[in-house]
Amino acid sequence: MASLPTPTVTAAGATTKTYSSSFTTTSPVISSWPLFSKKCALNKPLKHKISCNAGSSENSLNNLDRRNVLLGLGGLAGAVNLTSVPSVGAAPISAPDISKCGTNPLSGFRPGESTPTGGDCCPPDSPQIMDFKFPKNEAFRVRPAAHLLSPKYIAKFNEAIKRMKELPETDPRNFLQQAHIHCAYCNGAYTQSSSGFPDIEIQIHNSWLFFPFHRWYLYFYERILGSLIDDPTFALPFWNWDTPAGMTIPKYFNDPKNAVFDPKRNQGHLQGVVDLGYNGKDSDTTDIEKVKNNLAIMYRQMVTNATDPTAFFGGEYRAGIEPISGGGSVEQSPHTPVHRWVGDPRELNGENLGNFYSAGRDTLFYCHHSNVDRMWSLWKMQGGKHKDITDPDWLNTSFVFYDENKNLVRVYVKDCLYTNQLGYDYQRVDVPWLKSKPVPRAPRSGVARKSIGKVKQAKEVSFPVKLDKTVKVLVARPKKSRSKKEKEDQEELLIVQGITYDSEKYVKFDVYVNDEDDDASAPDQTEFAGSFAQLPHKHKGKTMSKTNFRAGLTELLEDLEADDDDNVLVTIVPRSGSEDITIDNIKIIYA
């Protein structure tokens, strides 16, 4: 087993409240697990049993070849080359001053309510802040697959949530207070005042902050639950929606007698197969077709559209700017569609899981994001360019959370890169989507060439264009017939630039490449390049937001046998809330 470096940090104890950033150069050391294995070996002894039979559930919808298995390892592989770069002149976003938290609810009222939806999501203040210290000499936690939990573990999970809900409302560990954390960081309640920009909000979606923020959020949430039931081994289950047996909501979440129950879920989806490409309304596809599409979406978003750190994590987000560069592949899908698929359409804004401000009020949110966090570890295991960002502004970004002892703790992105260093890992389960690569609908179709004269070139389009109907455009390729080395050095990327959308709506559109038929390709077909999706949220003082979308073309064009073509035909199909969307440009770049 190879050894790789692991970051370490020297943390101070309690200090007066300040919000500064620093970059500590480190020399990491960590053990790497093999990519493929049929064993259920764990890197620490456990007090509870975890089954290896992830694919043998009676609820499995497909008999998938168990030889096609990638173990769901928690950050144990994929070294991060942390370059020794000082933070001179850097501008990371500093943890917010929570004493300056300001509510920013969504517009709209429910009948009988005197305040707008969203309410007050500011946490209790604290006169002191502690710097984070890595856990030492404590039990290791292994997050289990939610659909494989034993009755004993389900009871333990319920008891922990029950006790969290019973805490006083003023306790920062209280269930609703914990839900407010997501609300505050997502709906303009915090500004970058600690970084010197009091008029610019902090938004942890649509950028490279998405993964590290949620990892830290779950880390403290999990520790609070464990402390409430006096079980240091307790770990949050992950909703294993990336394997057929886990693609439904586990039954115990739907039992009103359980503390993990939430009545604000889509009642038509309580027993159905999740739609990882959910458009805001149900399709007429069968469960078997949904499973097939889901696995193809996972392959596309974890492989084809996640070729480098920017593609996977999202674009840069530094102090003094807003997150407009675009979210990462997994954040777009499956993360966002799953939120909306679970949210209750009977509610004004799709509460609870279907809206950022209320998502944390559903316990399923934490299991959903536990699996999202697992994707970070799985992605790094692919090697090559699949490594953490080395930019000091990313590494030095900080957040604050309350821990299990009600201490306000400041954490840095650079300290959450390895799950085993944080004291947790994931149960080993099958990852069938690695063998679920989409297949071409019409290889070597020549559709782009045949569209010349019938469809406008991008340079001829009067941008911005409104997405109130399907948009087709020919996009010129700056290069074609690239060598193998050129492809290894730079990915060919389709960029949909300057997407302006109403942030208070669930918005989604799908992107297709060289798809000539009127009935768009299915997600398991190569021509389907990906989706842009945004969950409703509030921005400070505005409702319209701007961002970008990108999709990988190198593998896609090879599979379509279109690598020698001068153009690609791009089709953008609006799916939900797109009537107000405008697009500034569509182009191809190499990065």
**Contact partners, residue 7, CB within 8 Å, separation at least 6:** 26, 28, 80, 82, 414, 415, 417, 418, 421
**Contact partners, residue 244, CB within 8 Å, separation at least 6:** 60, 61, 62, 64, 291, 295, 432
Helix (H) or strand (E) holding 273: none
**Contact partners, residue 401, CB within 8 Å, separation at least 6:** 181, 216, 217, 219, 220, 408, 409, 411
Q: Is 335 annotated as a binding residue?
A: yes
Q: Is 147 annotated as a binding residue?
A: no
Amino acid at 181: I
Q: Tell me whether residue 356 is one of the annotated catalytic residues.
A: yes
Q: Is 339 annotated as a binding residue?
A: yes
Concatenated DSSP letters for 316-356?
A: ---TTS-S-S-B-HHIIIIIHHHHHHHS-TTSTT-TTTTST
Q: Tell me whether residue 369 is one of the annotated catalytic residues.
A: yes
Q: Tell me whether residue 214 is one of the annotated catalytic residues.
A: yes
C-alpha span between 339 and 310 (Å, rounded): 23
C-alpha span between 206 and 215 (Å, rounded): 15
Q: Which of 335, 368, 386, 539 is catalytic?
A: 335
What strands, in cross-sheet order, belong to the sheet with 408-412? Answer: 14-16, 128-131, 408-412, 398-402
Q: Is 182 annotated as a binding residue?
A: yes
Q: Tell me whether residue 386 is one of the annotated catalytic residues.
A: no
Q: Is 188 left (phi over 0), alpha (psi -120 to 50) or beta?
A: left
Q: Is 214 annotated as a binding residue?
A: yes
Helix (H, G, I), strand (E, B) or coil at 467: coil
Q: Contact 533/336 with Cβ under 8 angstroms?
A: yes
Helix (H) or strand (E) holding 142: strand 141-143
Q: Is 560 left (phi over 0), alpha (psi -120 to 50) or beta?
A: alpha
Amino acid at 551: A
Q: Is 269 annotated as a binding residue?
A: no
Instruction: Note the maximum CA span of the chain.
Output: 70
Q: Which of 140, 238, 312, 356 is catalytic?
A: 356
Helix (H) or strand (E) holding 393: helix 392-395
Q: Which of 147, 180, 214, 537 is catalytic?
A: 214
Q: Tell me whether residue 401 is one of the annotated catalytic residues.
A: no
Q: Which of 182, 368, 386, 539 is catalytic?
A: 182
C-alpha span between 438 and 551 (Å, rounded): 14
Q: Contact 328/256 with Cβ under 8 angstroms?
A: no
C-alpha span between 532 and 322 (Å, rounded): 19
**Contact partners, residue 216, CB within 8 Å, separation at least 6:** 399, 401, 411, 416
Q: Which of 180, 369, 537, 539 is catalytic?
A: 369
Amino acid at 6: T
Q: Tell me whether residue 335 is one of the annotated catalytic residues.
A: yes
**Residue numbers annotated as active site:** 182, 205, 214, 335, 339, 356, 369
Known binding residues: 182, 205, 214, 335, 339, 369
Enumerate the known binding-site residues for Cu cation.
182, 205, 214, 335, 339, 369
